[in-house]
Amino acid sequence: MPRTVEELLAEALQLPNEEKNQLIDELHWSLLTPEERELTAEWAQRLADIESGNAETVSLEDALEHARDAVRDAGRRNAELM
């Protein structure tokens, strides 16, 4: 007979924290769609590249300036179409 959720939870709560974290990660991963799994893997790779120094990054100020320029340019193009 399969164990109930309550029984599984009681057993899981007895695990060391590291194993609880592993269980949480595995359960969360099982809920993701294939697209979400791919995106999660891509972000994990991006973070690994940043942490190892193998990624090009920009400052917050530069990113905000770039975003503002893009919004301003889109507004201009939209105004020209009207």
Residue 50 to residue 18: CA distance in whole angstroms: 25
Q: Which residue has the tokens 């320029």?
A: 69
Q: What is the pLDDT of residues 18-46, one digit of tens each?
A: 999 999 999 999 999 999 999 999 999 99
State the Cα–Cα distance between residues 56 and 24, nearest whole angstrom.
32
Tally of CA atoms within 13 A in the half-sphere of 45 that contains its CB: 6
Q: Is the CB of residue 53 less than 8 Å from the CB of residue 47?
A: no
> pLDDT tens-digit profile of 44-57?
999 999 999 999 99
- Residue 57, Ramachandran bin (φ over 0: left; ψ between -120 and 50: alpha; else beta): beta
